[in-house]
């Protein structure tokens, strides 16, 4: 089987590529990624050593480049991770979110139709459901929860989901969608909460916590998400949405305190700052459908996963340091110098 993984130089995509190379060594994987600020080819250093893996740099919204890629590689499966993903950036600059997350997804689906792709899998987010209140812990998002978005990021992801479902209904494109809660693990860009806290605390820098840190997220270890995507894209039903979540709700302040404790750093580093506009209060996923239909369950307890994650960042100081210094952006040129 030939699988195109878009956005595979980012956080979840790179973990997914390692998951596939390990669990499906007979498949051919092509990573297609524009290497925006969030894409880091050095995250795929280990993958580039595999004969059945290759990397192509390109934009998912570039119709010509996408068509050429599909024509050349003839993919059986396309799994779309490529996206602008940071809520705070979507508040500053929504336009790139519309282009990549909506037009880019459409461009990939048009090519998938044209070249007879057997499965187009869209990696989506629980943020399309909006927020849950803090005082009703029994409420959770199911696949039937209405779409109700808060940020330009979640609105663009919801738009892509609706387009994907319309391509199934109207054109019969075999799509599937997973909507996952917040992920944590290795290779996450240090603008997101968990790697931001680890990298700043390691240097004894203040840690910005929005509002009072009372917002709740449902954290899932990234490899558990990868396993869910792998199952759904191979065995999930066409035209269906599957929620993926960790049954692991934490307030932001709990997460920050846990990390500080693991690092042996004082809570005096915590600095409460002005809240994010439109900040969703709580996300919580009901993952009953994927558990029942496909037998998926999260395997990693938060305490273990956060320990692995903290250790990974401490052991991979160069990966982090190159990002903080901006040097990671030169990696592509170094890696490919004289090879193209």
Write out the residues near ligand NAD by the rule CB under 6 A.
6-7, 9-13, 33-36, 38-39, 59-61, 81-85, 100, 104, 123, 125, 157, 180, 182-183, 189
Q: Residue 290: phi, psi to the nearest 5?
A: -70, -30
Q: Using the rule CB under 6 A, is 179 a contact of ligand TYD?
A: no
Q: Using the rule CB under 6 A, is 210 a contact of ligand TYD?
A: yes
Residue choice 6, 101, 215, 248 for contact with ligand TYD (CB under 6 A): 215
- Reference 287, options 241, 250, 255, 339; nearest CA is 241
Q: Using the rule CB under 6 A, is 209 a contact of ligand TYD?
A: yes
Among the residue ranges 99-107, 188-196, 234-242, 319-327, the one whose residues contact ligand TYD (CB under 6 A): 188-196
- Reference 329, options 42, 19, 69; nearest CA is 42
Smallest distance from ligand TYD to CB 208, Å: 4
Residue pair 3/76 in contact (Cβ under 8 Å)? The answer is yes
61 binds, among ligand NAD, ligand TYD, none (CB under 5 to 8 A by kind): ligand NAD
Task: Output the six-digit token pair for 245.
Answer: 């979540």
What character string, x for contact with ligand TYD (CB under 6 A) and - otherwise, covers 249-288?
Answer: ---x-----------------------x------------
Residue choice 29, 77, 175, 196 for contact with ligand TYD (CB under 6 A): 196
Catalytic residue IDs? 126-127, 153
Residue choice 28, 89, 192, 225 for contact with ligand TYD (CB under 6 A): 192
- Please, which residue, 29 or 259, has the CB nearer to ligand TYD? 259
The Cα–Cα gap between 330 and 296 comes to 39
Cβ neighbors of 144 (< 8 A, separation 6 or more) are none
Smallest distance from ligand NAD to CB 35, Å: 5
Smallest distance from ligand NAD to CB 266, Å: 28
Residue choice 58, 94, 190, 208 for contact with ligand TYD (CB under 6 A): 208
Smallest distance from ligand NAD to CB 66, Å: 9
DSSP for 194-256, please give it: HHHHHHHHHTT--EEEETTS--EEE-EEHHHHHHHHHHHHHHSPTTEEEEE--S-EEEHHHHH
- Please, which residue, 179 or 192, has the CB nearer to ligand TYD? 192
- Please, which residue, 81 or 168, has the CB nearer to ligand NAD? 81
Angle at 1 between CA 58 and CA 56, to 5 degrees: 15
Strand intervals (E) in the chain: 2-6, 28-33, 53-57, 77-80, 119-125, 175-180, 183-184, 207-210, 216-218, 220-221, 240-244, 249-251, 270-273
Among the residue ranges 96-104, 166-174, 204-212, 306-314, the one whose residues contact ligand TYD (CB under 6 A): 204-212
Q: Using the rule CB under 6 A, is 182 a contact of ligand TYD?
A: yes
Q: Given the structure tokens 């498949």, which residue do they identify? A: 27
Cβ neighbors of 227 (< 8 A, separation 6 or more) are 19, 296, 299
The size of the chain, in residues, is 340
SS3 at position 102: helix
Question: Would you give the DSSP letter of residue 338?
Answer: T
Residue choice 41, 103, 158, 193 for contact with ligand TYD (CB under 6 A): 193
- Reference 309, options 125, 149, 176, 184; nearest CA is 184
Q: Considering just the CA atoms, what is the radius of gyration of the chain in Å? A: 19
209 binds, among ligand TYD, ligand NAD, none (CB under 5 to 8 A by kind): ligand TYD
193 binds, among ligand TYD, ligand NAD, none (CB under 5 to 8 A by kind): ligand TYD
Binding residues for ligand TYD, rule: CB under 6 A, are: 87, 182, 192-193, 196, 208-210, 215, 217, 252, 276
């Amino acid at each position: 089987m030939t699988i195109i993984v878009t956005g595979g130089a980012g956080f979840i995509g790179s973990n997914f590529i390692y998951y596939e190379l390990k669990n499906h060594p007979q498949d051919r994987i092509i990573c297609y990624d524009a290497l925006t600020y969030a894409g880091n080819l050095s995250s795929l250093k280990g993958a580039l050593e595999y004969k059945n893996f290759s990397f192509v740099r390109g934009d998912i919204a570039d119709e010509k480049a996408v068509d050429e890629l599909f024509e050349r590689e003839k993919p059986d499966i396309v799994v779309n991770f490529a996206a602008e993903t940071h809520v705070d950036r979507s508040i500053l600059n929504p336009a790139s979110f519309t282009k990549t997350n909506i037009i880019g997804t459409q461009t990939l689906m048009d090519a998938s139709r044209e070249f007879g792709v057997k499965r187009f899998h869209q990696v989506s987010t629980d943020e399309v459901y909006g927020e849950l209140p803090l005082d009703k812990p029994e409420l959770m998002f199911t696949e039937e929860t209405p779409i109700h978005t808060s940020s330009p990021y979640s609105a663009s992801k919801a738009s892509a989901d609706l387009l994907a479902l319309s391509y199934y209904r109207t054109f019969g494109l075999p799509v599937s969608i997973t909507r996952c809660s917040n992920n944590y693990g290795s290779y996450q860009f240090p603008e997101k909460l968990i790697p931001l806290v680890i990298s700043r605390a390691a240097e004894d820098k203040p840690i910005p916590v929005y509002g009072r840190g009372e917002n709740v997220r449902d954290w899932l270890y990234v490899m558990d998400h990868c396993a869910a995507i792998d199952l759904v894209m191979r065995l999930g039903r066409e035209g269906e949405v599957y929620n993926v979540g960790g049954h692991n709700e934490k307030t932001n302040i709990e997460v920050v305190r846990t990390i500080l404790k693991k690092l042996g750093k004082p809570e005096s580093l915590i600095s409460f700052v002005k809240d994010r506009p439109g900040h969703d209060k709580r996300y919580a996923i009901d993952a009953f459908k994927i558990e029942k239909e496909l037998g998926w369950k999260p395997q990693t307890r938060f305490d273990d996963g956060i320990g692995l994650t903290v250790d990974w960042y401490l052991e991979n100081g160069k990966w982090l340091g190159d990002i903080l210094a901006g040097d990671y952006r030169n990696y592509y040129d170094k890696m490919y110098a004289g090879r193209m």
